Structures are given as C-alpha cells and as structure tokens.
C-alpha cells in the first residue's frame, strides 16, 4: 500500500528518537540556532568546547530559513549558525544583525538510498532519471526548498538534470535536511538528497549508501554564522572557538570544506 506524505512523515517521526537521538540539552548557557546539517559536527565541537572551557551551550537545530524568520520575530538566540550565507546577509541588510558574520564551512549535497533500495547512488541523478522513466520511483525525499538551503540546492540539482517536474508526484519534503535524511533512509522511499555531513555521522552512515552530487550541479553551500544582538561572552567564545584548530579538524571529519583563508 502506498503511503501518503503525511502518513510517511508520521511513521518516520515515531522513529526519530531511534534513528537520530538528539543532544541532551544543557540546563544553562546561550541558545544557539544551528542548521540541521551541523547537528553531529556541532555535538562533537561543543563537547570539546565545554570540556576545555567549562561553559555550557544549548542548541536548537532546524532549517536556516525558519530560524531566520524566528530571528526577525525576536527569538532569543545568541548565535546563528546557518547553512546558507545569503540568509545571514539578508538579516544584516535588514538590520537584524550587526555585521555579515563569516563563512565557517562549505557543505556538499549527496544522493542517498537505504539498503535494499533499487536506487544506486553511484549512478547519480542519471540513475534517478532512469528509474523515473521505468516507473520505479514511489517516494523521493528532499528538504523543503521553501526554507531549507539543502532543499534549495536539491531542487537546483534536479532542475539541472531536468527531472524536477517529473519528480513532483513522488516528492516527500522534510522540514529540514535531517528530516529529509530520515525520510530517505526510512525504507519507505527509494532515496533522496541530503547533506554529506549527515551521512558521515556514526548514527546515519550504517543506514544506507550515498554518492556526492557534483558541486557544479547547484549553487554553493557556503555556510555562514553570525552573532545576534546581546550575545553573551559564552556565545562569543564559541563563535571564536569555531575558527580554532579543534573545530576545523572536526568540520573536515564531517565532510565540510573550509573556506579560503579560514
């Protein structure tokens, strides 16, 4: 029986705590809004930061577009670690942050498939096109391109391969790129497009296979962060820590490229 998008979403939500356990929240410390593509990298980076400084952090993970709307509405975040630099540049242009922040990493998009799927990621989007033509796609997951940077880049890649329109009846949209990974690897979809960093985590890597999408197939995923007004000393310290050797090494482990001059 084919599942509707809502039914699939409900089933996957039941598995969230098993598939992708969230960070245990600290009781104190600045609240940091962070792109879900950074979930596992930031868990490791924050653990080192807290061990070295004794300062706690609290993270809220989600889509960068949604966080930007919350910041415009006065959400009490102290640091915004986004997956798309344009979102932060727009916040600065409109006066919600004092500067443009800095690019801290460059992300990558991957095609993924759960074990047992007929989709072979190493065939790239040509393989998706062939399966579409053969009627072998029933569900394909991406992050919502209305507000998730990795969803925007996924749409660009699918448009570049000229299969965006043909995929419309089969798309399952995640609220953010982590949820897109959940949908794609749930076993109820042939696959999807998600963040490379998520597929390099110990929690997600065993659940499927993946292949990188060429960077020329979509716009760059230049990820930028910025301090919010009234940021505490701890938030400032963590922003600075993100540019240190320990954080840089962890970012590389999760497949992020470091911007030139980083």
Q: Give pLDDT tens digits along the chain (262 positions).
A: 333 343 343 333 333 333 443 444 556 899 999 999 999 999 999 999 999 999 999 999 999 999 999 999 999 999 999 999 999 999 999 999 999 999 999 999 999 999 999 999 999 999 999 999 999 999 999 999 999 999 999 999 999 999 999 999 999 999 999 999 999 999 999 999 999 999 999 999 999 999 999 999 999 999 999 999 999 999 999 999 999 999 999 999 999 999 875 5
Annotated domain spans of the chain: 5-13+107-217, 21-106+220-253
Report the distance separating Cα 82 and Cα 223, nearest Å: 6
The whole-model pTM stands at: 0.89
Q: Fold for domain 5-13+107-217? A: D-Maltodextrin-Binding Protein; domain 2 (3.40.190)
Work out whether strand 140-143 and strand 191-195 pair parallel, antiparallel, or are unpaired: parallel
Asked whether 207 and 115 are in contact (CB, 8 A), the reply is yes
- Range 21-106+220-253: architecture per CATH: 3-Layer(aba) Sandwich (3.40)
Asked whether 175 and 142 are in contact (CB, 8 A), the reply is no
Three-state DSSP class for 262?
A: coil
pLDDT at res. 28: 81
Fold agreement between 5-13+107-217 and 21-106+220-253: yes
């Amino acid at each position: 029986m084919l599942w509707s998008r809502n039914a699939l979403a409900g089933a996957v939500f039941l598995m969230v705590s098993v598939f992708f356990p969230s960070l245990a929240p600290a009781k104190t410390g600045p609240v940091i809004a962070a792109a879900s593509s950074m979930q596992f990298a930031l868990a490791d980076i924050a653990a080192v930061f807290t061990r070295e400084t004794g300062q706690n952090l609290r993270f809220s993970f989600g889509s960068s577009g949604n966080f930007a709307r919350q910041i415009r509405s006065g959400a009490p975040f102290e640091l915004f670690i986004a997956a798309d630099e344009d979102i932060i540049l727009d916040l600065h242009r409109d006066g919600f942050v004092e500067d443009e922040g800095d690019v801290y990493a460059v992300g990558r998009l991957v095609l993924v498939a759960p074990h047992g799927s007929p989709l072979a990621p190493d065939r790239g989007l040509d393989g998706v096109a062939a399966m579409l033509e053969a009627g072998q796609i029933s569900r394909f997951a991406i992050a919502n391109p209305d507000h998730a940077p990795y969803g925007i880049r996924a749409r660009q890649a699918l448009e570049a391969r000229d299969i965006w329109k043909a995929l419309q009846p089969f798309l399952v949209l995640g609220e953010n790129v982590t949820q897109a990974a959940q949908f794609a690897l749930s076993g109820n979809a042939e696959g999807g497009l998600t963040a490379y960093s998520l597929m390099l985590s110990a929690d997600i890597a065993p659940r499927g296979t993946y292949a990188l999408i060429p960077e020329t197939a979509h716009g760059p995923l230049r990820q930028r962060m910025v301090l919010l007004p009234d940021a505490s000393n701890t938030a400032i310290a963590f922003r600075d820590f993100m540019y240190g050797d320990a954080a840089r090494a962890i970012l590389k482990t999760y497949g992020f490229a470091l911007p030139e001059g980083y």
